Amino acid sequence: MKFDIVVLTDHRYVAPKTRTPYIENVLQEDHLVLEAMEKQGLKVVRKAWDDPDFDWSTTQYALFRTTWDYFDRYTEFSEWLEKTSKRTRFINSKELIYWNIDKHYLQDLSKAGVTIPKTVFVEKGSTTTLLESIIKAKSEHGFIADTYILKPCVSGAARHTYKIAEDGVTDYESIFQELVKNEAMMLQEFQYNIVSEGEISMMVFNGEFTHAVLKIAKPGDFRVQDDFGGSVHKYNPNAEQIAFAKCVVEAAPELPLYARVDIFRDNNGSWALAELEIFEPELWFRLNPVAANVLAKGIRKTIAFD
């Protein structure tokens, strides 16, 4: 084997000619991971997942980090994922990635006792209308809020994520119909505390909490992602929040080597899961560089290298 691990990124971030603050963050995050792996004596390299010239059988493992174009090229990415899984192994595992890449996984976690927002899934090709879906959400799933969030089941960076008020449903009907023809969608109650209090992201490696950040939407917006002007701050969670995050990762089909658990206080005042990211989560190593070493040590200790 030529490499122990290939750290996977998006082709736009391999050798960018333009260095925006966002791209600088990507490069810094990936550099910290590479450096930490090398400290563990591992042979590592960084490649775009769609690199046409790389032989994936020359690496023992591929580690998903900043592959943030996959949801815009999902058919192509899915084909690559299946093909490459026959030539190397993935971190996290292929089984976990397939489970986590589609937000239907929230149903599994809910059944396992994890609190999630009230959610209705509208499957690809459904002939229902958005209004009918909302009526069903109220009658069968207990929706009580008068504002909703609509988003795809496979997505990232708030792609096609819409905040819809009760009196504005008809304005989004054509968008909904166009989207559901091609992909499954999810309808959720709007969570007011995410706007007023923010969303907490907690990093959990091998079942142990390492660090956390608080994401806050910019004034007038509901999206906490920094892509949309949201701000990110270091955060010290309390014991209850850490325990919740650990319970979430323990409810996954297998314990992930790395995960990000996004939580918030829901409309009932309870801690709830927004997302469990174990595929290619942003992990904010730039705010806690030591955590990259924790991840590398965990991989070195847990995974058997030839």
Residue 98, pLDDT score: 92
Query: At residue 228, does pLDDT exceed 70?
Result: no
CB neighbours of residue 214 within 10 Å: 17
Q: What value does the mean pLDDT take over residues 9-37?
A: 94
**Considering only CA atoms, which of 18, 17, 24, 74 is closest in space to residue 49?**
74
Tell me the backbone φ, ψ of residue 297, rounded to 5 degrees: -65, -40
Q: What is the 3-state secondary structure (H, E, C) of the chain?
A: CCEEEEEEECHHHCCCCCCCHHHHHHHHHHHHHHHHHHHCCCCEEEEECCCCCCCHHHEEEEEEEECCCHHHCHHHHHHHHHHHCCCCEEECCHHHHHHHCCCCHHHHHHHCCCCCCCEEEECCCCCCCHHHHHHHHHHHHCCCCCEEEEEECCCCCCCCCEEEEHHHHHHHHHHHHHHHCCCCEEEEECCHHHHHHCEEEEEEECCEEEEEEEEECCCCCCCCCHHHCCEEEEECCCHHHHHHHHHHHHCCCCCCCEEEEEEEECCCCCEEEEEEECCCCCCCHHHCCHHHHHHHHHHHHHCCCC
% pLDDT > 90, the chain: 74
Q: How far is CA 64 from the centre of its chain?
A: 11
- Whole-model pTM: value is 0.91
**pLDDT, tens only, 131-173:** 989 888 888 888 887 899 999 998 766 678 899 998 889 999 9
Residue 230, pLDDT score: 62
Residue 227, pLDDT score: 60
**pLDDT, tens only, 103-126:** 999 999 999 999 999 999 999 999
**pLDDT, tens only, 164-214:** 998 889 999 999 999 999 999 999 998 888 888 889 999 999 999 999 999
Query: At residue 50, does pLDDT exceed 80?
Result: yes
178-182, 220-224, 225-229, 238-242, range with greatest mean pLDDT: 238-242
Residue 71, pLDDT score: 83
Query: At residue 284, does pLDDT exceed 90?
Result: yes
Residue 224, pLDDT score: 53
- CA distances to 108, 181, 199, 298 from 275, in Å: 13, 24, 10, 23
